[in-house]
Amino acid sequence: MAPHLATLLVPGPAPVVTWYDASTGERVELSGVTLDNWVAKVANLLVDDCDAERGTRLRLGLPSHWLRFVWLLGAWRVGAVVTDHDADIGLSGPELEADEPIRLAASLRPLGARFPTEPEGFVDIGAAVPASPDVFVDLDPPTPEDLAIDLEGATATHADLLAVEPVSERVLFGPGTVRQDAQRLVAALRGGGSIVVVTGGTDADLESIAGQERARLASSPH
């Protein structure tokens, strides 16, 4: 078994995460190589700018967006716990709602662009992440026993999530909770599969996009 969740990511050319906003037509696809690059940058930002370490608690206040998956892996890479309460670091979307000691924000504009105006009281990850180094050195990597998530009143360690059933297919989902998206991501990484997440769409949109992407439409979350 892999020692921790972030080691599941293989930096290859195949797509790992594809995200659609059916209401705007925006589509972002992250290969293993691209996702690995983003994760390294996020991990460096967390350690260098936020003093994150094993056990640091990160509230991931983003919707089912491609950045949610990037930040899940970035948090796990440094041993941070993704949580919905009592956090040290809060990552907000464009609504700028966070009261943690360290506050980050994502504009959710196309291609991860920065806010048009610097958000007062927040670090704009659209500016900070691209400026972070591409290579992350694991000086104190998490262990299988370290907590990975503390969400909805339940916790799971790296080992717990690594035990999810692997998925080798390309599977399409509608938006999910942070816990659901974490499980979907780990299942795909374990099995060499790929996930497609569609937001802002109807059931008909999901069926149409599943056909375009040659993906199986999930009937329920993994």
Model confidence pLDDT, tens digit, residues 136-177: 999 999 999 999 999 999 999 999 999 999 999 999 999 999
What pLDDT, on a 0 to 100 scale, did the predictor assign at position 221?
Answer: 40
Model confidence pLDDT, tens digit, residues 47-91: 999 999 999 999 999 999 999 999 999 999 999 999 999 999 999
Question: What are the phi and psi torsion angles at 104 (to 5°)?
Answer: -115, 160
Cα–Cα dist 157/160, whole Å:
5
- Report yes or no: 184 and 139 within 8 Å, Cβ to Cβ: no
pLDDT band at residue 220 using 50, 70 and 90 as cut-offs: very low
| Mean pLDDT for all residues in the chain | 96
What pLDDT, on a 0 to 100 scale, did the predictor assign at position 219?
Answer: 73
Give the per-residue SS3 of the chain.
Answer: CCCCHHHHCCCCCCEEEEEEECCCCEEEEEEHHHHHHHHHHHHHHHHHHHCCCCCCEEEEECCCCHHHHHHHHHHHHHCCEEECCCCCEEEECCCCCCCCCEEEECCCCHHHCCCCCCCCCCEEHHHHCCCCCCCCCCCCCCCCCCEEEEECCEEEEHHHHHCCCCCCCEEEECCCCHHHHHHHHHHHHHHCCEEEEEECCCHHHHHHHHHHHCCEECCCCC
CB neighbour list of residue 122: distance below 8 Å, 6 or more residues apart = 92, 96, 98, 103, 104, 105
What pLDDT, on a 0 to 100 scale, did the predictor assign at position 203?
Answer: 93
Catalogue all structural domains in the chain, each as residue range(s) with its CATH number.
Answer: 5-217 (3.40.50.12780)
